[in-house]
Amino acid sequence: MSAPAAVDLAPFLERAFFFDAVEDSYRITGIQGDVPAAVRGTYYVNGPARFTRAGMQYKHWLDGDGMVCAARFDDAGVTFTNRFVRTAKLRDEEAAGRFLYRGFGTAFADDRLRRNVMLEPPVNVSAYPFAGVLLAFGEQSLPYELDPVTLETRGEYDFHGKLNGLSPFAAHAKFDPANGHMLNFGISYAADHPVVNIYEFAPDASLIRRRRHPIRMPHSNHDFGFTANWTCFFLSPLLMNFPKFWNERVSVMESLTWEPEKGSRILLVPRQARDAAAIEVPAGCGYCLHLINCFETEGHLVMDILELEAPVYPEYQPVPDLFPTVTPCRPTRYVVDLANGQLAERRVMAYDCAPDFPNIDPRLPGQAYSDFWMLGISHSGKPGRKFFDQLAHGSWKKGEVHDLYQTEPGVYLGGEPNYVNGYILVEQLDARSREASLLLFDARQVANGPVTRLPLRHPIHLGFHTSFAPAE
Ligand SMILES: [Fe+2]
């Protein structure tokens, strides 16, 4: 007697990755529900949207070529536009008719790097409006400038010549609502002397300052936070071995080692005062991909993160069978006493459905807040492929995830939930019927289900990070 077939916890998930994305621009028709008057402006989401070429298939979710989608809300309706970011990688590979460059998780014979040192980025992580343009970001390199309406790619953006093609620059730019500044970081992995570079730009994209702070280990670090006085990092012991990456011609994924015995550390670097000392605090041995927010209160710095027991990157493969063994992940609050540099409190929220892509009201980064929204995976803890199928709403005041929307089997959510004036915008793909839509929820009560569904003409790939440019 043969063993019963394992239950597929993510039916039709392959349909979320393997299709030829159609670039288009059109007015959305067939909208179900009213588009709230409070939602006016343009929503952007970036994500990987091409995983195959000439019979070759990428292994890892982070490998795919970036595609930006825009939904422009005005009084006449909603216009949807989506285009690939025309990177150097995409241009060369379209001309060759095959993949040429090494990916984050896919290395192959004769694959290429940028200037023989770094990935030629697929620019698939995020897209942020800034200084009158739209910037699409990949990991570890300059963003690409896009036309904010047509999404036409104009080329790499070097911040008025202050950065160059080898400047380390992460995908998680942050925007300080207090002054409109953009902050970002990038890690230099120079042999034996890894350094975190911290940049701050004025609203016109001029560079206000660049700090370099030595770090003990070559951390692979994806995100950061800030307050009025500090830039804030949760450095997990996921370490990048660049000599291995260069000498053994392996992927980034194969060059990363997880060394939990080395512990995690909170690193706080003064944002403005050049002479002030940084603060380093041991913080267990968990893994953090994304922070929720940071703020200061009464001599303490609060750092809220989504904390896993182990890195999540191995769960982004093999496409399309993602998250096969994802470890529990929980919203976790660390409180640092700024007077003595000690950890004063660690508080864990009970929700453990591998949440990711947290987001808050864009008026509140760096400031006291309570509510946040994120995607979750209902089947966490069970073996086998699975994907985001929950929109979860947490509150630090309530101390829990008190409000939750669950999709039907075969229906998946994507793109960091985006807060717009009391509403949450998120992507949905019904893999059963291959129908994509944008959903709007009442941010206070996502459990009630979407108040508005905006059906899209073609399937779209579920993305990573989002932004919203309010109407002028
Ligand atoms: Fe991210």
Instruction: Compute the distance from residue 466 Cα to the ligand 1 centre, in Å.
Output: 10
Instruction: Calculate how far, in angstroms, residue 139's C-alpha sits from the geometric centre of ligand 1.
Output: 9
Assigned domain for 7 exists: no
**Within a domain: 2:** no
Instruction: Classify residue 386: in a domain, yes or no.
Output: yes
pLDDT of 18: 97
Q: How far, in Å, is the centroid of ligand 1 from the Cα of 221? A: 10
Distance 2 CA to ligand 1 centre (A): 42
DSSP string, 263-286: --EEEEEESS-TTSPPEEEE-TT-
In a domain, 3, yes or no: no
- What's the CA-to-centroid distance between 357 and ligand 1, angstroms? 7
- Cα(105) to ligand 1 centroid in Å equals 16
Calculate how far, in angstroms, residue 55's C-alpha sits from the geometric centre of ligand 1. 29
> Domain for residue 254, yes or no?
yes
The number of residues making up the chain comes to: 472
Q: Burial letters for 47-85: b for 16+ Cβ neighbours within 10 Å, e otherwise?
A: bbbbbebeeeebbbbbbbbbbbbbbbbeeeebbbbbbbb
Residue type, 192: D
> pTM above 0.85?
yes
Give me the number of domains the chain comprises: 1
* Dist CA 407 CA 378 (whole Å): 9
Over residues 83-136, the pLDDT tens digits come to 999 999 999 999 999 999 999 999 999 999 998 889 999 999 999 999 999 999
Whether residue 1 lies inside any domain: the answer is no
Q: Strands across the sheet with 41-48, in order?
A: 24-27, 77-84, 66-74, 41-48, 466-470
Distance 195 CA to ligand 1 centre (A): 20
CA 319 to CA 60: how far, in whole Å? 6
Tell me if 170 is assigned to some domain.
yes
For the domain that residue 426 is a member of, what is the CATH number?
2.130.10.10
State residue 266's pLDDT score.
Answer: 98
Query: Is 8 inside any structural domain?
Result: no
CA distance 183 to 198: 7
Domain that holds residue 44: 13-470
| Predicted confidence (pLDDT) per residue in 432-472, tens digit | 999 999 999 999 999 999 999 999 999 999 999 999 999 98
Find the 416 Cα to ligand 1 centroid distance in Å. 9
pLDDT at residue 254, as a whole number: 98
Buried b (16+ CB within 10 A) or exposed e, 149-173: eebebeebbebeeebeeebbbbbbb
* 452 Cα: distance to centroid of ligand 1 (angstroms): 26
Q: Which residues of the chain have pLDDT under 50?
A: 1-5
- pLDDT of res. 361: 98
User: Across all residues in the chain, what is the average pLDDT?
Assistant: 96
